[in-house]
């Protein structure tokens, strides 16, 4: 809710506060709200069997921003940022952490990106080893002779996905979304609402002309 909407709501239920008082309450409690929100995300990711995610455009301080929702059956988390990219989504899931892992999650992500088998085989030799720093990942890419800028970016992103899948998300935890590019990672599926939409466009007919359209 916007601050003005909160003020109007309080007035509507008989709580007599000025707009300035509402503003002061929100500012004084902002840090506590932020900490609580991050705690909700952490616990939700640890416990929820599946995660729903979506984003929407919104205005913040007269600028175009995006609100990302991550939730499940028993929790809901919202955050606003200037980007709706996959990097932004991964940053939200990282919750201030940083790590790069070479594991099955990383290799699967590279496979999904269409990376060739010979590159995937190079990383197979390094699976199961300790997590690396970003500098460490770049050193490894240099050692493996991976020079393409696009491929290096894919490898860095994939190693972030590997870290998140092994340290933050639960095994076999399902991610539900509208299949937008920024969310097409991990153990992923289209949510039933978005999967229903193309089905509504199907025109069913019968081979028997006397039946006509169904």
Number of structural domains, the chain?
2
Say if residue 109 is in the same domain as residue 41: no
Residue 192 pLDDT grade (very low, low, confident, very high; cuts 50, 70, 90): low
Say if residue 27 is in the same domain as residue 113: no
Give the whole-angstrom CA distance, residue 81 versus residue 17: 30
Mean residue pLDDT across the chain: 85
Q: Is residue 208 part of a domain?
A: no
Least confident of 60-69, 112-121, 136-145: 60-69
**Residue range 8-25: average pLDDT?**
87
Q: Is residue 200 part of a domain?
A: no
Say if residue 91 is in the same domain as residue 185: yes
Say if residue 123 is in the same domain as residue 45: no
Say if residue 63 is in the same domain as residue 127: no
Say if residue 158 is in the same domain as residue 123: yes
Instruction: Give the structural domain span for 86.
Output: 3-96+172-189
Say if residue 36 is in the same domain as residue 88: yes
Q: Is residue 63 part of a domain?
A: yes
Nearest C-alpha neighbor of 53 from the set 210, 180, 212, 199: 180
- Asked if 170 and 46 touch (Cβ cutoff 8 Å), the reply is yes
Task: For residue 65, report the phi and psi dihedrals to the nearest 5 degrees.
Answer: -135, -175
133 Cβ neighbours under 8 A, 6+ residues apart: 98, 100
Q: Is residue 214 part of a domain?
A: no
Q: Is residue 204 part of a domain?
A: no
Residue 208 pLDDT grade (very low, low, confident, very high; cuts 50, 70, 90): low
Say if residue 59 is in the same domain as residue 110: no
Residue 193 has pLDDT above 50, yes or no: yes
Say if residue 18 is in the same domain as residue 110: no
Residue 57 has pLDDT above 90, yes or no: no
Q: Is residue 142 part of a domain?
A: yes
Say if residue 115 is in the same domain as residue 158: yes
* pLDDT for 205: 75
116 by DSSP, 3-state: which? Answer: coil
* pLDDT for 101: 92
Say if residue 26 is in the same domain as residue 131: no
Say if residue 13 is in the same domain as residue 91: yes
**Residue range 165-183: average pLDDT?**
86
Q: Is residue 135 part of a domain?
A: yes
Q: Is residue 195 part of a domain?
A: no
Give the whole-angstrom CA distance, residue 57 versus residue 117: 38
Better pLDDT: 13 or 195: 13
């Amino acid at each position: 809710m916007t601050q003005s909407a909160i003020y109007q709501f309080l007035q509507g239920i008989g709580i007599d506060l000025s707009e300035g008082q509402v503003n002061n309450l929100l500012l004084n409690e902002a840090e506590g709200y932020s900490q609580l929100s991050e705690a909700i995300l952490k616990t939700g990711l640890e416990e929820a069997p599946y995660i729903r995610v979506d984003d929407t455009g919104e205005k913040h301080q007269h600028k175009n921003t995006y609100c990302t929702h991550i939730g499940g059956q028993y929790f809901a988390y919202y955050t606003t940022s200037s980007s709706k990219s996959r990097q932004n989504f991964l940053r939200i899931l990282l919750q201030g952490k940083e790590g790069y892992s070479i594991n099955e999650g990383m290799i699967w992500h590279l496979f999904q990106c269409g990376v060739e088998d010979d590159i995937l085989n190079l990383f197979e030799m390094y699976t199961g080893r300790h997590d690396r720093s970003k500098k460490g990942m770049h050193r490894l890419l240099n050692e493996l002779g991976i020079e393409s800028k696009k491929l290096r970016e894919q490898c860095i992103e994939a190693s972030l996905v590997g870290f998140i899948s092994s340290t933050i998300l639960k095994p076999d935890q399902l991610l539900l979304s509208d299949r937008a590019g920024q969310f097409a990672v991990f153990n992923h599926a289209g949510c039933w609402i978005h999967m229903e939409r193309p089905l509504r466009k199907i025109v069913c007919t019968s081979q028997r002309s006397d039946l006509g359209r169904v």
